[in-house]
Amino acid sequence: MNFATNIVLTGFMGTGKTTVGQILARKLNREFVDMDALIESRAGMTIPQIFERRGEDEFRALERRLVYELALRNGLVIATGGGALIDDDMRETMVQSGMVLCLNASKADIRARLAENAHRPLAAGWERLLEARASAYAKMPYQIQTTGKTPEEIAGEIAALDRGALYAHTPDGGGYPIIVGRGLLDRLAAEADSLGLAGHVVVVSNETVAPLYAESLVRTLPNANLIITRDGEAHKNLDTVRGIYDELLKLGADRGTTLVALGGGVIGDMAGFVAASYMRGISLVQIPTTLLSMVDSSVGGKVGVDLPQGKNLIGAFKQPRSVIIDTDVLHTLPPSQWRCGMAEVVKHGLIARPSLLDPDLWNLENAERLVRGAVQVKIDVVEVDPYERGIRAHLNLGHTFGHAIEKVTEYAIPHGEAVAIGIVKAARLSRNLGFINDSLVEHILKIMWQIGLPTDIALDPERWYAAMSTDKKWKAGRSRLVVLKKLGEAAVVEGLSKEEICAVL
Ligand SMILES: NC(=O)c1ccc[n+]([C@@H]2O[C@H](COP(=O)([O-])OP(=O)(O)OC[C@H]3O[C@@H](n4cnc5c(N)ncnc54)[C@H](O)[C@@H]3O)[C@@H](O)[C@H]2O)c1
């Protein structure tokens, strides 16, 4: 007896529900139920015959009865008919019974698949039917984009979700799994098929991370090469990108190649930018290895490089195919880098998830839980605001103050430390504006001390303010800063006076 909840695959005809369902069921060692096939065998006729002899209403009634029946069972992989869960009540019934995923495909894919299988009823006016059902499909809790993926890869993605992977929805109606766990790097080769790593893979890493993790990973994958870049923000530029393009061409990388970014945020941003632009875009898998890149930069799709004139001035949005977070790699991370990542974790705790502020979580033993909680905050924000037009700005809590510190000190202060000081300044500003009280400011100071992060710096306020006022987000000299409305909630305030800001500097 399998007590796991059901996995229900729904979606329009031709999106691969049955093929993917069969592979998934084999993979998870579960029973597979194809609703259409079961209805046919029970009725003793094909679905076109049911439509012809008894009419569509009768077919829907059979489907409805079967939905109720299957929802009472456990541990199944179910492929529904394309119209079975359009009705709110049917959808809710299945959602109560397990994980409901909608498979989506491009119109070109659907057309091609229907052409192979012309006997389906309703296939004739399929484009209008798809439009009519689109809003109902959009209500399914998980959206899986199938175009460009093999059924094995789609099944692998869903299997990862079943094992507790997180999932980030993207604006194109798809999304990607974020797999968080221990020892994942050692198991990647065994899962290469389902993770999109079975074909030609090029791993991009740097001179520090490559000997630790990338070289062994490349040896275990069936068809992989490695490109090693210099370490450090100073190399996150177009020269390095150009070098990676050259290497890719030498390695014969084509549009079917998958790029794996294995490293901290610098590698993720840079390799991500290469994946967004090489041959107009190739597949990207992010394997972040610093705490910061795990909880922040690997999720959300922002990629890019620096120019001599400023950081991250060249970039793109490139959603990864998956993000694989093996928290075991944090064992080799220098403590200073751990602390810098913790500044972002604290930020996520303050703006959305106060449970992250529990000191019991701030250690390697609990890294998996810590990362899961913190990355979920990032997912929640980027799903609502993928292109940074609204609440994504909340992720900048403390960053305008922090970026200015980096600028004035000519990057002598590490980013995470600058952010920590910035968060304290933002908290003091929030207190001055009457949003939060002294005790929360004190609490934040204590958190930073416990982690070993600084809370202040001796800088000339005039220079500090001047550096802040060049922030990209300030419009025509009008200030724009993120403050705390209360613990777990941030807001953007605009148009504060220089005096109000300098009072906390
Ligand atoms: N795209 C985004 O949304 C986003 C968000 C935040 C930050 N960023 C970018 O991220 C970058 C900063 O990322 P970072 O803090 O990860 O810095 P980083 O990539 O420079 O890594 C820090 C150092 O740790 C080393 N390292 C990485 N993993 C290691 C491991 N497991 N063991 C030992 N050493 C390891 C690196 O080689 C490097 O020396 C910046 O360029 C920033 O602009 C991007």
CA nearest ligand 1 atom 12, residue: 265
Q: What digits encode the pLDDT tens for the residues 331-356?
A: 999 999 999 999 999 999 999 999 99
What string of DSSP letters covers 329-390? GGGGS-HHHHHHHHHHHHHHHHHT-GGGG-GGGSSGGGHHHHHHHHHHHHHHHHHH-TTSSS
> pLDDT tens digits for 209-268?
999 999 999 999 989 999 999 999 999 999 999 999 999 999 999 999 999 999 999 999
302 Cβ contact partners less than 8 Å away, ≥ 6 residues apart: 269, 315, 317, 388
- Give, for 467, the enclosing helix (H) or strand (E): helix 461-468
User: 66-124: per-residue pLDDT in tens?
Assistant: 999 999 998 999 999 999 999 999 999 999 888 999 999 999 999 988 887 766 766 77
- Is the pLDDT assigned to residue 1 strictly greater than 50? no
pLDDT at 171: 86
Q: Which atom of ligand 1 is nearest to the CA of 208?
A: 37
Q: Whose CA is nearest to atom 5 of ligand 1?
A: 297
Q: Average model confidence (pLDDT) for the chain?
A: 94
Confidence check: pLDDT of 44 > 90: yes
Tens-place pLDDT, residues 120-173? 766 778 999 999 999 999 999 889 989 888 999 999 989 988 888 898 988 887
Helix (H) or strand (E) holding 152: helix 151-162
What b/e sequence results for 162-201 when a residue is b if at least 16 CB atoms lie within 10 Å of its CB, and e otherwise?
A: beebbbbbbeeebbbbbbbbeebbeebbebbbbbbbbbbb
- The H-assigned helical ranges of 16-125 are 17-28, 35-43, 47-54, 56-71, 88-97, 107-116
| Strand 258-263 versus strand 76-79 pairing type | unpaired
Model-level pTM? 0.84
What separation in Å is there between the alpha carbon of 317 and the centre of ligand 1? 18
pLDDT tens track for 407-460: 999 989 999 999 999 999 999 999 999 999 999 999 999 999 999 999 999 999
d(CA 458, CA 464): 10
pLDDT band of 475, cuts 50, 70, 90: confident
For residue 284, pLDDT beyond 80: yes
The per-residue pLDDT for range 184-200, each reduced to its tens digit, is 999 898 888 778 788 99
Q: How does DSSP assign 388-420, residue by residue?
A: SSSGGGGGGTTHHHHHHHHHHTTT-S-HHHHHH
| Annotation says 388 is catalytic | yes
* Rounded Cα gap, residues 275 and 262, in angstroms: 13
- Active site annotation includes 29: no
Distance 463 CA to ligand 1 centre (A): 28
* Helix locations, 261-318, DSSP H: 265-277, 291-292
- What's the one-letter identity of residue 50? I
Domains, in order of start, for the chain: 6-163 (3.40.50.300), 176-333 (3.40.50.1970), 391-502 (1.20.1090.10)
From 203, 293, 298, 327, the mutation candidate for ligand 1 (largest count of ligand atoms within 8 A of CB) is: 293
Residue 350 Cα to chain centre, angstroms: 20
For helices 335-351 and 438-451, the axis angle rounded to 10 degrees is 160
Percent of the chain residues topping a pLDDT of 90: 83
